[in-house]
Chains A and B, each alone.
Chain A
Amino acid sequence: MSRLRDVSVDVVVIGGGPAGIAAATRGSEAGKRVLVLDEAPHLGGQIWRHLSRETLPAKARSWLDRFDRSGAEGLTEASVVDLQDARVLAVRWNEEVRVRAPHVIIATGARELLLPFPGWTLPNVMGVGGLQALVKSGASVAGKRVALAGAGPLVLPVAAALAQAGARLVVVADRTSASRVLRFAASLAGRPGDLWQGVRYRAQFAGTRYRWGTRVIAAAGESRVQEATFSAGGRTWTEPVDLLGAAAGLVPNTELARLAGCEVRGGGGGVVMVDALQKSSRAGVWCAGEPTGVGGVDLALVEGEIAGLDAAGQPVPPRLLKARDAGRAYARRLDLAFGLDGLDAVDLPPPETIVCRCEDVPCSAFDKSWTMRQAKLYTRAGMGPCQGRVCGAALHAMFGWPPDSVRAPLVPTPVASLISTLESSDATT
């Protein structure tokens, strides 16, 4: 007996961030039945996270309004558990959902690369985007001493948003060297809008120094973070903090694409390979936004539009293709400037530093000659509820290990729900 809700649509979009919203909007405007699935309580993904739409920037509001008008449907608080051929299996709090759709658009975004350092597991040490996500979902930072130590363009808008929310920004730091940042800024000559936006963000926390080439090297405190230590050049210093946002850039969420059998290239979880129309290597599966390569909101929107149009059988206007090419070039420059490969080698943290947070596995437990699979079997790293997403990305940065293979369930799922979704994933049921 199945307790499953069955839904049939033309296009299912997994991920309700900018790429997913754009794809769904375009698909629905072209007359197709479109459904978007997202885990969060509202659509918008990370960068457009909001409690009320009025607080969003104009472009976000405009897209979300357009999505509403398009007739596309959204199912929130839905976690995708499995995907097989033209069926997507998701679980919500009190039901399982099977979405049958001949066209699947994967727009699963990216997550932060969280590199371990002493004290990083203390409460109130979060990601950079993580801290912003919590603030955007209602957490107050008014009057709190906040330090940010990130990598790349995410730091600026987060610092601005935190300052707006009343935080006392004590440190705003980017681990990227000054020379790489300046070169990147120079390359933005063709994107004056971005430059001006950067200036505006900077102005919002003008009272705090913006430091390049600076990273957090330790956090300390009793049962929560109370101080953080930073390093720049040869110098280190410690600041008392209430909240610390620390991350080393973004990593594409490619698990669903890999489960679907899409070709993925590159280290770690890699990036999903797509053609000019955002088609993946699997028939019937498109991919748009960060999983095809981290490139920011504008590129995600363009890729989403292309995927949505193509999945709906519509021609894609050349201006979108051109915009995508320009966006890709920007994404490559982003990676050159802020990516961890090459110049920016990852130092191993001290041996007792926890690397796998789910299972409390310290750095000393690993042998760099291992594979991710060996690490899992010998140390339990990657065997907890995050299914190796956090430590796997860190271990890839630290030792170069590619991730282990992906299997359903994509997220921990109650046994009863798993029975229902597994039973329903077969084409014959």
Chain B
Amino acid sequence: MTATTATTATTAETADVVVVGAGIVGAAVAEALANDGARVTIVDSGAAALGATAVGMGHLVAMDDSPAQLALTSYSLDLWKSLAPELPPSAEYDPAGTLWVAEDEMQLEGVEEKIRAYAGRGMPLQWLDGKRVVELEPNLRPGLAGGLLAPRDAILYPPGAARALIDRALARGAQLREHTEVRELRANEVTTTRGTLRAGVIVNAAGTSAARLTPDLPIVPRKGHLVITDRVPGFCRHQIVEMGYLKSAHRMTAESAAFNVQPRATGQVLIGSSRELVGWDASVNRQLVAAMLSRAQWFMPALAKLQAIRIWTGFRPATRDKLPLIGRWERTPGLWIAAGHEGLGITTSLGTAALLADLIAGRTPAIDPAPFAPGRRVAA
């Protein structure tokens, strides 16, 4: 279960690859590259998987804010499906699927287009009317305009999944250096609080810290809140998200909340989502949480009586065009980027890793890498 830590180095060490960041993206990248035969060293300023990986929902979801996003998320979902049988129980993988629900007719705008787009990616979406939606999820309020079922979506517990990926990398000879803070990323060299590492390939997978290490990365923290309840097994069976969620995720406005609930393996209900741009203020925004919970309670009135045990906040590493940065960082020889995944880091960690591994090895990636190029111009 525990990942081993190598002893402290006093002289410059070499590896084929240094991955900075042991969150789920770094873990997936390390696993993919170790699988390709590279000697990989993973470094993290703290313990593995305690950053954004530890505070999100663990929703594996195909999303279509853009064709590129749909391509990356659906590619990733296929990869998760293949990996699922090999994941340990601690990853709590659950092929629950997503039930997208429409509050009213307005939210149904574009549904047919959505179904076509998803079908084009091999992701069937099943249309359900308001009655059928409630049959599927009896705790939803009656009278909703309808819904879409995405059966290939899934749920997992990110810290468990990330540690499983790290363990797979370690089994292929990778090394993990926790509590090792990176001071500087230079050409083929990483300076840390515990010595210098040299490698032909350095991957910045440091999530919300990525822009600190590679200035000019267009990544900003986008804060979210989550609330978790006491155990209520059977309260819901799918991840349930309102169709307005995409709009909330899309607009880079001050703050927004959207209905988003998840059944955890324990039977607890995880309630989200919120978005704000408030720098690094990790305090609970009580008004916003109240709005988020109100919205959730509107969609699922039975939430009213559930005991909320905990509220917490976290930061998504966000980019303006909602697409992550995956690829070479031209300015610094040997430096590659795998960061800026906003709320899709868990989902697209596997797609990101596969894409990056292909690019590094010179193979043709399964999806077009151009939209994710780190040096791309991003519309303001």
Contacts and interface: CB of A to CB of B under 8 A. Distances in A.
B304 A416 contact: yes
Nearest to A386: B309
Nearest to A378: B159
A387 B310 CA distance: 8
Interface string B283-308: 01011011001101100000111111
A425 B303 contact: no
A237 to B, nearest CB: 38
B159 A412 contact: no
B139 interface: no
Interface string A382-405: 011101000000000000000000
Interface in A359-381: 367, 370-371, 373-374, 377-378, 380
Nearest to B307: A412
Contacts of B296: 415
B307 A408 contact: no
Given A377-B159, A378-B159, A412 B286 contact: no
A423 interface: yes
A409 B308 contact: yes
Contacts of A134: none
A422 interface: yes
A373 B46 CA distance: 12
Given A367-B2, A378-B159, A422-B287, A415 B293 contact: yes
Nearest to A423: B290
Contacts of B54: 377
A374 B178 CA distance: 13
Interface in A317-370: 367, 370
A340 B217 CA distance: 51
A197 interface: no
A407 B310 contact: yes
Interface string A82-96: 101000000000000
Contacts of A373: 50
A130 to B, nearest CB: 22
A418 interface: yes
A383 B286 contact: no
B229 interface: yes
A408 B290 contact: no
B309 A377 contact: no
B164 to A, nearest CB: 12
B252 interface: no
Contacts of A177: none
B286 A408 contact: yes
A204 interface: no
B47 A385 contact: no
Contacts of A412: 230, 307-309
Interface string B2-37: 100000000000000000000000000000000000
Contacts of B47: 370-371, 374
B1 to A, nearest CB: 8
A426 interface: yes
A394 B362 CA distance: 54
Contacts, number: 81
Given A413-B307, A414-B306, A419 B294 contact: yes
Given A415-B229, A415-B297, A82 B310 contact: no
B311 interface: yes
Contacts of B310: 383, 387, 407, 409
A422 B290 contact: yes
Contacts of A416: 297, 304-305
A425 B283 CA distance: 14
Contacts of A82: 286
A82 B294 CA distance: 18
B312 interface: yes
B311 A408 contact: yes
Interface in B23-67: 47, 49-50, 54
Contacts of A419: 290, 293-294, 297
B266 interface: yes
Contacts of A422: 286-287, 289-290, 293
B220 to A, nearest CB: 24
Contact of A387 (B163, B289, B293, B309): B309
B284 A407 contact: yes
A407 B309 contact: no
Given A367-B2, A377-B159, A380-B266, A415 B290 contact: no
Contacts of B312: 407
Nearest to A374: B47
Of the candidates B163, B286, B304, B306, the one having the most CB atoms from chain A within 10 angstroms of its own CB is B286
Given A385-B230, A422-B287, A414 B308 contact: yes
B286 A84 contact: yes
B302 to A, nearest CB: 9
Contacts of B49: 377
B50 A413 contact: no
B305 A414 contact: yes
Contacts of B271: 415
A393 B167 CA distance: 31
Nearest to B301: A416
A418 B159 contact: no
A426 B287 contact: yes
Contacts of B293: 415, 418-419, 422
Point out which of B228, B284, B290, B311 has the most chain A C-beta atoms below 10 A from its C-beta: B290
A385 B296 CA distance: 21
Nearest to B304: A416
A374 B297 CA distance: 31
Interface in B66-108: none
A316 B261 CA distance: 54
A415 B50 contact: no
A427 to B, nearest CB: 11
Contact of A407 (B50, B305, B311): B311
A378 B266 CA distance: 14
B311 A415 contact: no
A377 B46 CA distance: 14
Nearest to B163: A378
B269 to A, nearest CB: 9
Interface string B160-203: 00010000000000000000000000000000000000000000
A324 B296 CA distance: 50
Interface string A119-148: 000000000000000000000000000000
A407 B228 CA distance: 13
B330 to A, nearest CB: 37
B13 to A, nearest CB: 23
Nearest to A420: B290
B294 A408 contact: no
A408 B309 contact: no
Nearest to B297: A415
Contacts of B229: 415
Given A384-B309, A412-B230, 13 more contacts: A374-B47, A374-B50, A380-B266, A383-B228, A383-B310, A385-B307, A407-B284, A408-B286, A414-B308, A415-B306, A416-B297, A418-B227, A423-B290
29 contacts: A373-B50, A377-B159, A380-B266, A385-B307, A387-B310, A407-B311, A408-B284, A409-B311, A412-B230, A412-B307, A412-B308, A412-B309, A413-B307, A413-B308, A414-B305, A414-B306, A414-B308, A415-B227, A415-B229, A415-B297, A415-B305, A415-B308, A416-B305, A418-B290, A419-B293, A422-B287, A422-B290, A422-B293, A425-B286
